[in-house]
Structures are given as structure tokens and as C-alpha cells.
Amino acid sequence: MKTQKKKIVIIGGGFAGVNLAKKLTKSDHFEIILVDKNNYNFFPPLIYQVATGYLETSSICYPFRMLFRDKKNFRFILGELKEVIIKEKKLILSTGSIHYDWLVFSTGCVTNYFGIESIKHHAIPMKTVSDALSMRNTLLERLEEASRETNMEIRGKLLTVVVAGGGPSGVEISGMFAEMKQKIIAKDYPELKGSSGEIYLVDGLNSVLSPMSENSQQYAYDKLVEMGVKIRLNSMVTDFKNDVVHFANGDKIETKNLIWTAGVTAIIFKGIPPEAYGKGKRLIVDAFNKVIGQEDIFAIGDTCIQTTDTAFPQGHPQVAQVAIQQGQNLAHNWIKTLKSKSSVPFKYHDKGSMAIIGRNKAVAEFPKPKLFFSGFIAWIMWLFIHLLSLINYRNRLSTLYNWTTAYFTKDQALRFIVRTTLRKEVLTREISD
């Protein structure tokens, strides 16, 4: 007698969701439905290179339907989750409704503005592909505006960039801007020669790359300063209005460009009980990634917090490797249940941390054995690991080509201002048939 397939709905196609789906599609006992508001998977660690015109969007993105096109037990639905009706095992989406046997949240995180409305409305986020394209357009438009501006005070504001957040994203984008200022802007915009305009990296903590070792922190700090980045630590941003960034200690920086990489938060979904959420709005899960108080709802990756792993009693870091490993572990456990085998509690295997500062400048550290690398060798490691982590060969080849071109020419020809608009009649038309 043929057994009925388990209908698994995965909300979110990031690292966690895609790795879970990939493993489950190998078994005929599951029907997998992936729901995402985008029709593509993308690689967040390289989002800043799209924002600065060093990579094409297609280098870090890949369509879900193409990724899973040969999997007969997989289906993709474009849409956003609006509500979970637990009693009916039903999901209300922006594009319809579906039922599930098992539901998995793998929605990652969104930008956290810490309740500061002025920053939410005026700062430049860097979390999604749309954010990256918007940032590229905005910064290029401001360079064009600065090239025409005769008022030196206004020109200075247009050229000054403040990056809030001293984690890997903040360090990497600051280093990229510093290199662009030195090697590219002077060539592309001769009108700006000798103009003022600084790059600031600011953070409320007392170090950059705070999750990493002191060796990495000091190396990154020293190299960024050498590259011309002005670093302000113990400086918490409290407001951004009238082209002025305000700090808790009373300091101010005049700029039109505040790039926000200072924090993330998970998403709250209608229908999920409030007691299921923990720190940072993350869903609280047990050792097997099951949401507390629920029988058929799971969460993996950045959107969950798991305190059962003895090495991480406060929860795992919100990094790609945790998401990948949780997705794979959950898939293995479900496959084990088909064979009446016991599930394995999740244990995170830390494979190390990396951050790139600039050309031939990076840091890499590994816990077992405890190793630290910096400079050119760490830079090569960073390139190699990130190339391998891209989702398919086409992305890897495209990215390698762009990086090779940028390395030897110290430039890249991807700085396009591309505006997208929808015709008013398309937005407002009514269905009459």
C-alpha cells in the first residue's frame, strides 16, 4: 500500500530553506512547497558588492524554479505569509492559501532600526537585493549631483558616507568605499578632484568585528585607518535628520549618506502565539528545531533561537553556516523518522569566521585547530570559500570573472543607474472580465 506523502511547506528560500529543500527532494516520501516573496535565492554575504557595482545581480542570485526544475516532488509559490491558522494547518498567503502537514519557518531576518523612525525613513539599508540596487542608484546619483554642485558644504555632505555597524558587513562596505575613493572616483569624476568627503565607520561597541578575535579586530581597525576610513567606536547613532547623523555622546556628522548595517531582527507572524518568540523576535525552538508549544511547526536559521546546544547557551550566531547546518540536520531527522530511527539534536560545528577589508586584506580564523590568518593568504581564503558557497556553477564563474577583472584593472564597469518604474495604468487598472 502506498503511503501518503508528508506535505512540507517551507517559508523562506535562504540558506536554511534551500538546504532543507535540497535534502528532502531526494526522498519520494515528501511533498515540498517553498514559499518566498522573491522568485530567486540570493547570497547575502556578497550583497555589498552588488551595491558598489563590483558584481552583477545575477552573480549572486538564482531562480528557485531553475534550481529545482528536475525535482518532481517540489513546488514553488511566489507570495508572502500573512497568517498561520494553526488549528486548520492552513497558511494565508498574499497570493492564496495552502495547507501543510509540517510547516518550517526559514525567513531569516530584516533590518533592525531599533525604533528610530528617522533612520528607518532616511538611512540606506543593505539587507536585500532591492536594497543593494537602491543603494547603488542612490550613491551614484549623489556622485553625479556632487559633480555639478558648486557649494562646497553641500558637496561635502553628498560625498561623505557614514556606515553604522562595525560587524563584517560594515567593515567590508567601508573598505570597498575607501578603495573606490582612492582608485575609481578620481578617474570617473575629475570634477571632484580635491573635494572634501570622508568615509566613517561607527559602532556603539568598543571594537570592529566584535564577534571575532582581538587579532582580527586590531588588523581590521589598522588596515581601515590606513585606507583612510575614520573609525568612531563607542558611538551609538541616535538620530538622522536634516542631513546630520546624531550620536548619544552629542557628536554629529553632516552627510546625506547613512548606510545602516547596525542590526537585524526576526519577523513576527500573525497566528503564532506570542510566547513562542524570544530575544530578537526569534522563534524559540527545541534541540530538534521544533517551535515550543507546537507539534508540526519548525524554525531554522536566523529566525529561530535555540539554547539547547551546550556550546551556545545564549543561542547560535545568526550566520550562514548555522542556517545551512540546521536545514540539513532537520532534513536528516525527518528522513530518519521514515526508518523509525531516533532524531539527532542539533549541534553547531563552527567552521570559522572571515571578513574582507580590501584588496589583499582580510582576516580568517578557525576554532579547531585554533588558527588566525591575515593579509593576502586570508584574502585568498575568503575568495575561495565565498566562491564555493555560491549556489551553482554559473554564479561561481560569473563572480570569478568579475573579481578577476576588478583585481587586474582595479576597476569595474558595472556602475549603472537603473531605475525601475511601473506604469500607473498597470497599478490602477481594474479587472473587468
- Helices (H), ranges, 149-213: 152-159, 168-180, 186-188
Residue range(s) of every CATH 3.50.50.60 domain in the chain: 6-37+79-109+266-338
Whether a cis peptide bond, with omega within 30° of 0, leads into 369 is yes
For the chain, percent helix, then strand, then coil, each to nearest 5? 40, 25, 40
Query: How far is the C-alpha of 11 from the C-alpha of 103, rounded, in Å?
Result: 8
Q: What CATH topology corresponds to 6-37+79-109+266-338? A: FAD/NAD(P)-binding domain (3.50.50)
Instruction: Determine the pLDDT at residue 172.
Output: 96
Instruction: Determine the pLDDT at residue 392.
Output: 86
Mean pLDDT across the chain: 93
Cα distances (angstroms) measured from residue 148 to each of 137, 162, 180, 190: 17, 22, 20, 11
Active site residues: 172
* CATH class for the region spanning 117-264+352-409: alpha beta
Sign of CA dihedral 150, 152, 153, 157: positive
Residues 6+ apart with CB under 8 A from 152: 195, 196
Question: Grid cell 533592525 — which residue?
Answer: 112
Query: How far is the C-alpha of 161 from the C-alpha of 201, rounded, in Å?
Result: 9
pLDDT tens-digit series, residues 99-153? 999 999 999 999 999 999 999 999 999 999 999 999 999 999 999 999 999 999 9
CB 20 within 8 Å of CB 112: no
Residues 6+ apart with CB under 8 A from 386: 43, 45, 46, 399
Per-residue pLDDT of the chain (433 residues; tens, 9 = 90+): 456 889 999 999 999 999 999 999 999 999 999 999 999 999 999 999 999 989 999 999 999 999 999 999 999 999 999 999 999 999 999 999 999 999 999 999 999 999 999 999 999 999 999 999 999 999 999 999 999 999 999 999 999 999 999 999 999 999 999 999 988 888 899 999 878 789 999 999 999 999 899 999 999 999 999 999 999 999 999 999 999 999 999 999 999 999 999 989 999 999 999 999 999 999 999 999 999 999 999 999 999 999 999 999 999 999 999 999 999 999 999 999 888 899 999 999 999 999 999 999 999 999 988 999 999 999 999 999 999 999 888 899 999 998 998 888 888 877 888 876 544 444 444 333 3
Cα distances (angstroms) measured from residue 104 to each of 81, 154, 357: 12, 49, 36
Residue range(s) of every CATH 3.50.50.100 domain in the chain: 117-264+352-409
Q: What angle do CA 43, 44, 45 make, to 5 degrees?
A: 100
Q: What angle do CA 150, 152, 158 make, to 5 degrees?
A: 95
